[in-house]
Amino acid sequence: MAQAAAAPPLSSRPAEALPHSGLAPRSASPGTGTDWGEHGTWVWRGLAVHWRQLDPPAALIQHQGGVRGAVLLLHGFGAASGHWRRNAAALAAEGWVVYALDLIGFGASEQPGPGLLPAGRLDNRLWARQVQAFLQEVVGGPAVLVGHSLGALVATSCATFFPRWVRGVVAATLPDPALMGRSRPRPPRRRPWRRRLKRRVVVLLCRLLPLELLVPLLAHSPLLALGIQLSYAIPVIGDQELRRLFATPARRPSAVRSLRTMSIAMALRPHGATAPSMLPRLRRPLLLVWGTRDQLVPIQVGEALQRLRPDLPLLSLEGCGHCLHDEAPEPFHAAVIPWLHQLSLSPVAGEP
């Protein structure tokens, strides 16, 4: 897939975010690898959130007279902001101020249990509120959201519920259990007693599941590397940096309670918080990017999304697996960056 022939001019937006209350001093880290960018801690509703930022090169900003805007990268399930190790620098080199954060329950952010949540359940609605608050308090304005897997669902949720803060969404696979095996966009209404029964069954199963044994076993054994390999179409068994990215959060004492909390919450979401319900309401541009060898969320799910919204572009990356942004960064950038540049030239109604 060819790169854009010519890059549009940059905007005059400043590259640096203004200082905000609740921020810890950021520490400088390398621009490559899982420690890319400058790191900080942002406190949202009493919960510590790890985030990072990478600015365009100063010479580029001076030469072009500004930056294109802000991009916020949202990681997938079990991952963290470091998973964008092969993408952040490329986006910054194109004139974007690149932000990323660890969603509540993941990475170096807090891993709360049910009694420690500020409001609501630990599902994509709460993560969408987290993202909106980050855009308002840290970024200081709207951004393009680039999400992988669960991060794409969160990005879509934020764009649906808080459109004023989102310029557009890149969804590098968009998973949702509500899409699996369903041909109709809306399920039949369940009777109240059935909803109550489902809630009790889900809670019981999640509490009976021996996560206290399974999570440490997975995090400290070769099973983790095998699980990661399922997300890639290229060999990554020997990638120790990638293994640490997934293993470190899973080894924290609070990981089990957080996983159980989000498992229950995601299973009990109302229909209005699922992709089949949100997509028809979405009023922001959305680009779907999928790997043809994705074993976790097959490209047929993307085709189902297109049936819900035929106007959504779906770009397929030949031979790529689920973590397409990490295993094939150059084809991923070739698909995404021209779309981002075009978006930077388009005014978006209703921005704050």
pLDDT at 337 over 80: yes
Domain of 213, in residue numbers: 30-182+192-344
pLDDT in tens, 10-47: 443 333 333 343 444 444 555 679 999 999 999 999 99
Q: How far apart are the first and last CA of the chain?
A: 35
CA atoms within 13 Å, Cβ hemisphere of 227: 15
pTM for this one? 0.86
14 occurs within a structural domain:
no
Residue with tokens 């689920």: 322
Residue 52 and residue 38 in contact, taking contact as beta carbons nearer than 8 Å:
yes
* Token pair listed for 330: 């150059």
Strand partners of residue 169: 145, 286
Short-list 124, 76, 77, 74, CA closest to 100: 74
5 occurs within a structural domain:
no
18 occurs within a structural domain:
no
**Reported confidence tier of residue 290, pLDDT bands at 50, 70, 90:** very high
Mean pLDDT of 298-320: 94
Mean pLDDT value across the chain? 84
16 occurs within a structural domain:
no
Q: Which residue has the higher pLDDT, 223 or 291?
A: 291
SS3 assignment, position 312: coil
Please state, in angstroms and rounded to a whole number, the distance separating the CA atoms of residues 266 and 321: 24
248 occurs within a structural domain:
yes
Three-class secondary structure assignment of 10-38: CCCECCCCCCCCCECCCEECCCCCCCCCE
Mean pLDDT of 71-93: 97
15 occurs within a structural domain:
no
pLDDT in tens, 117-172: 766 688 999 999 999 999 999 999 999 999 999 999 999 999 999 999 999 999 99
Continuous H helices in 232-317: 240-250, 255-267, 275-278, 299-308
Residue 292 and residue 149 in contact, taking contact as beta carbons nearer than 8 Å:
no
pLDDT at 6 over 70: no
Residue 239 and residue 224 in contact, taking contact as beta carbons nearer than 8 Å:
no
Number of domains in the chain: 1
CATH value at residue 228: 3.40.50.1820
319 CB neighbour count, 10 Å cutoff: 14
Q: How would you classify the pairing of strands 69-74 and 143-148?
A: parallel
pLDDT at 254 over 90: no
- What confidence score (pLDDT) does residue 183 get? 39
pLDDT in tens, 159-214: 999 999 999 999 999 998 777 654 344 455 556 655 555 555 655 565 656 566 67
Residue 69 and residue 167 in contact, taking contact as beta carbons nearer than 8 Å:
yes
Which region among 7-11, 57-61, 294-298, 347-351 has the lowest average model confidence (pLDDT)?
7-11
21 occurs within a structural domain:
no
What is the percent of the chain with per-residue pLDDT over 90, rounded to a whole number?
59
11 occurs within a structural domain:
no
Long-range contacts of 22-31 (CB under 8 A, 24+ apart): 22/137, 23/138, 26/53, 31/88, 31/89, 31/92
Residue 129 and residue 121 in contact, taking contact as beta carbons nearer than 8 Å:
no
pLDDT in tens, 212-226: 667 676 777 888 999
Residue with tokens 């319900």: 277
- What confidence score (pLDDT) does residue 213 get? 64
